[in-house]
Homo-oligomer: A and B are copies of this chain.
Amino acid sequence: MALKMNQNQVFPNCDQLADCFSKSFKHLNRDEKNLLFWEEECELLKRGSVIYAEGDSARGCYFVYSGVLKVFKTGIEGKEQIIRFAKSGDIIGFRSALSQEPACTSSKVIEDAIVCFIPSHALTKLIQANPEFSMELIKITCKELGQANSYITDIAQKSVRERLAEVLMQLMETFGLAQDNTLQISLTREELANIVGTATESVIRLLSEFKNDGLIEIKGRKIKIVDVRALKRVGGVY
């Protein structure tokens, strides 16, 4: 499965990984970064590849060097609920790596990604050795928890229409817009539905309503954000 980076120069070296890691974790010295990326078990993964799946007992976690992943749970009759996305600089799967419990989410590639495996022992050693790192890990987890709690409230109280508008705004925040105001991430209607927590058909209908109302423009999977203010109003985002 895993390919050593030196087999192919598309893979980043230890320093490049460490630089990228510093986007999220600032309090690591050179030795500590070397510890994390010593084994340099990088993989180049194409759209659709599975990084780990619900129930897997993890021997480590994964650092995303490039590309985009979705983290999701599999619910009733296999329907995915997308929990979050991970992009360059993010770590995924450290929950089960640390608690030594089976993974409670799965992770798949949305945009071709380079992912680096970090063994549990390296992560644990860092927590032992570096309190600032622990603190950052706690803060990252707390932030995710805060977002999860917000999403519980939204999904429980807002309509599908409101949630879809909100999700478009979140995607704009997370992935940004191109020069032509197009979302820098392209998802299938089904994936959008699996974020919003609704049926694919509902997303299709609502997207064309948004188009008719002049809020967005659609070219296939590319969504152009036309009226941010109106979308935020629809989504109840302030």
Contacts and interface: CB of A to CB of B under 8 A. Distances in A.
A152 B155 contact: yes
A57 interface: no
Given A98-B142, A127-B135, A131-B127, A75 B105 contact: no
A121 interface: no
Contacts of A197: 152, 155-157
A129 B135 CA distance: 12
Nearest to A81: B153
B98 A153 contact: no
A144 interface: yes
Interface string A134-156: 11011101111110111111111
Given A138-B141, A142-B141, A149 B148 contact: yes
A105 to B, nearest CB: 6
A76 B236 contact: yes
A103 to B, nearest CB: 10
A100 to B, nearest CB: 10
A9 interface: no
Secondary structure call for the A interface = helix
A99 interface: yes
Given A152-B151, A152-B155, A135 B81 contact: no
Contact of A152 (B99, B124, B135, B148): B148
A161 interface: no
A211 interface: no
Contacts of A95: 142, 145-146
Given A155-B156, A197-B155, A145 B141 contact: yes
Interface string A107-145: 000000000000000001001110100110111011111
A83 interface: yes
Contacts of A73: 149-150, 152-153
Given A127-B131, A137-B138, A155-B197, 13 more contacts: A75-B154, A76-B157, A79-B157, A81-B156, A83-B153, A98-B142, A99-B139, A124-B135, A131-B131, A138-B138, A145-B148, A152-B152, A155-B155
